[in-house]
Structure 1
Amino acid sequence: MNVRTPSEEHLISLVGDAVAAPSMHNAQPWRFRYVRQTRTFELYADFDRAMPYSDPRARGLHIGCGAALLNLRVAAAHDGRHAETRLLPRPEDPALLATVRLTGPGGDDSDLAPLHPAITERHSSRFPFEEKRIPDGLRGALVETARREGAALAFPAPWHLQHVLDLVREAEARGLTDRASERELAEWTRTDAPSVNCSDDGVPDYAFGPVRSGGRAPLRDFAGTRRVAGRDTAVFEAAPQIACLSTTHDRPEDWLRAGQAMERVLLLATAEGLVGSLATQPLERPDLRWLLRDPVTGAGHPQMLLRLGYGPKGPRTPRRPVSDVLEVRP
Structure 2
Amino acid sequence: MPSRRHVLSLLSAAPFAPALAGCASGNLPDAVAGWRDPGAGETDPRRFALAHAILAPNPHNTQPWLVELDDADGMTLYCDLDRRIPFTDPLDRQITIGHGCFLELYRMSAGLKNYWPNIEFFPEGEPTPRLDARPVARVTLGPQQAQPNSDPSTLQIVNRHTNRNPYDARVPTAEQLDALVNVVVGMGEEYTGGVYWTNDEARVAQGRDLVWRGWDREQRTEGAAAETFGWLRFGRREIAEHRDGLGMSGAGIELFKMLGQLNREQLIDPDSSANKTATKNWREMAMTSPAFLWITSNGDTPSMRLNAGRAYARLALAAQDMGLAIHPWSQTLEEYEEMADLREEMRAFLAPPEGETVQMLVRIGFAEPVAPSARRAAQDFIRA
Q: TM-score range by the shorter chain?
A: 0.7 to 0.9
TM-score normalized by the length of structure 1 = 0.82
Please list, as runs of the form range in 1=range in 2, the aligned pairs for 1:61-80 lying within 5 A after superposition: 61-80=95-114
Task: Report the CA distance between 1:71 and its aligned residue.
Answer: 0.5
Task: Report the CA distance between 1:50 and its aligned residue.
Answer: 0.9
Mapped partners of 1:269, 1:80: distance in 2: 24
Q: Which residue of 1 aligns with 2:67?
A: 32
Q: Which residue of 2 aligns with 1:100?
A: 139
Q: Which of 1 and 2 has higher RCO (CA within 8 Å, sep 6+)? A: 2
Q: Between the two proteins, what is the percent identity of the paired residues?
A: 24
CA 1:223–1:276: 2 relative to 1, 3 Å: farther
Indicate the structure with greater helix content.
2
Query: 1:78·1:113 contact (CA, 8 Å) conserved in 2?
Result: no
Mapped partners of 1:116, 1:257: distance in 2: 18
Q: Which residue of 2 aligns with 1:281?
A: 331
Q: Which residue of 2 aligns with 1:326?
A: 382
Task: Report the CA distance between 1:169 and its aligned residue.
Answer: 2.4
- 1:278 maps to a residue whose letter is P
The answer to whether 1:245 aligns with 2:292 is: no
Q: Secondary structure at the match of 2:358?
A: strand
Mapped partners of 1:26, 1:246: distance in 2: 22
The answer to whether 1:138 aligns with 2:143 is: no
Please list, as runs of the form range in 1=range in 2, the aligned pairs for 1:290-329 lying within 5 A after superposition: 290-293=344-347, 294-295=350-351, 297-327=353-383
Q: Which residue of 1 aligns with 2:196?
A: 154
Task: Report the CA distance between 1:326 and its aligned residue.
Answer: 1.6
Instruction: Give the gaps of 5 or more residues in structure 2.
Output: 1-40, 251-266
Query: 2:65·2:80 contact (CA, 8 Å) conserved in 1?
Result: yes
Mapped partners of 1:197, 1:70: distance in 2: 27
Task: Report the CA distance between 1:9 and its aligned residue.
Answer: 5.1
- 1:181 maps to a residue whose letter is A
Aligned to 2:84, which of 50, 53, 70?
A: 50
The answer to whether 1:82 aligns with 2:116 is: yes
- The root-mean-square deviation of aligned C-alpha atoms, in Å, is 3.1
CA 1:135–1:173: 2 relative to 1, 3 Å: closer
Mapped partners of 1:64, 1:10: distance in 2: 22
1:272-328: CA deviation from partner (whole Å, max 9, x where unpaired): 111211112111234433433343745521111112222212211111111111248
The answer to whether 1:16 aligns with 2:16 is: no
Indicate the structure with greater strand content.
1
Mapped partners of 1:174, 1:243: distance in 2: 21
Query: 1:185·1:224 contact (CA, 8 Å) conserved in 2?
Result: no
CA 1:29–1:166: 2 relative to 1, 3 Å: same
Structure number, greater radius of gyration = 2
Mapped partners of 1:291, 1:89: distance in 2: 36
Alignment coverage as a number of residue pairs: 307
- 2:85 maps to a residue whose letter is M
Query: 1:292·1:302 contact (CA, 8 Å) conserved in 2?
Result: no
Query: 1:175·1:182 contact (CA, 8 Å) conserved in 2?
Result: yes
Instruction: Give the gaps of 5 or more residues in structure 1.
Output: 1-5, 208-221
Task: Report the CA distance between 1:104 and its aligned residue.
Answer: 2.8
CA 1:92–1:165: 2 relative to 1, 3 Å: closer
Query: 1:124·1:315 contact (CA, 8 Å) conserved in 2?
Result: no
- 2:379 maps to a residue whose letter is S
The answer to whether 1:188 aligns with 2:231 is: yes
Q: Secondary structure at the match of 1:75?
A: helix
Mapped partners of 1:194, 1:181: distance in 2: 25
